[in-house]
Amino acid sequence: MTSIRTLKTDKIQATVKRVTSGRIPTEHGDFQLLYYTNSIDNKEHLAFCLGDVAGEDILTRVHSECFTGDVMGSRRCDCGEQLQRSMALVAAKGQGVIVYLRQEGRGIGLMAKLDAYNLQDQGYDTVDANLMLGHEADEREYSLAACILEDLGVASVQLMTNNPLKISALQASGIKVSSRVSLEAPVNADNKAYLLAKATRMDHMLDMSQNERNIKATTTANVSARGKNESEPAN
Ligand SMILES: [Zn+2]
């Protein structure tokens, strides 16, 4: 059961080949994991599908790998929450696809991402940290995602994203984006600066005023919880 799709753009000619697939039961439901090889790199790009995904207006997430967020549950970013939320939305609809691209750390790789985290701990934001390391702010590429979606018969997508660049990049690769579904994760003290940089420096569509309210509520709750554990001050 293999299939091959080729996509030609000005910059790149990408080809993907669906090699195999398997059933993956999750807390959200039974997905099929489709394994692709491709003509651009040696990475294992994947599609995580539920239901029949051929057709129009397919609920779709194009997710870039984040080992720290997706696997380890890091609170430095919103990746893990966005992945889980998109799986839940697909399961609730009974149909959809998550294309999982192996471009860790907005394309700079895990090693450079850790170096960038250290710079962020010194006060630089995520964009400046990447630039200081000789990388671009965002090195991700979406032509392989477009090939995979085409291979799946996805004619147009309801794209789960906050990232306008991802929408325009997919459209430039021939994918019709019929609508956007917001995927905002709760703010915490560890991801606040990162989300703010995404909103202000990379134009991500995040409601930071709402998030500010969330973090204030969280902070208040933490203070209340701490207060309960402390002994009452003597009068
Ligand atoms: Zn992440």
Angle of the 192-201 helix axis to the 208-229 helix axis, nearest 10? 170
Count of CB atoms within 10 A of residue 113's CB? 23
State whether residue 178 is helix, strand or coil.
Answer: strand
CATH assignment of the domain containing 209:
3.40.50.10990
How many domains are contained in the chain? Answer: 1
Measure 78 CA to ligand 1 centroid, in angstroms.
6
So what's the pLDDT on residue 8?
52
* Assigned domain for 235 exists: no
* Assigned domain for 74 exists: yes
* Assigned domain for 161 exists: yes
* Assigned domain for 124 exists: yes
pLDDT average, residue stretch 182-189: 86
33 φ, ψ to 5°? -100, 115
179 is in an annotated binding site: no
d(CA 136, CA 157): 28
End-to-end CA distance of the chain: 77
* Assigned domain for 192 exists: yes
By annotation, the residues acting in catalysis are: 138, 140
Q: Using the structure block, give the residue that is written with the tokens 């839940």.
A: 88
d(CA 71, CA 65): 9
Split at pLDDT 50, 70, 90, the class of 210 is low
Whether pLDDT at 178 is above 50: yes
Q: Per-residue DSSP letters for 157-171?
A: EEEE-S-HHHHHHHH
Residues 123-143 pLDDT 10s: 999 999 999 999 988 888 899
Measure 223 CA to ligand 1 centroid, in angstroms.
27
What is the extent of the structural domain holding 22?
Answer: 3-224
53 is in an annotated binding site: no
Split at pLDDT 50, 70, 90, the class of 152 is very high
So what's the pLDDT on residue 192?
86
Residues 55-74 pLDDT 10s: 999 999 999 999 999 999 99
State whether residue 95 is helix, strand or coil.
Answer: coil
147 is in an annotated binding site: no
So what's the pLDDT on residue 2?
57
CB within 5 A of ion ligand 1: which residues? 66, 69, 77, 79
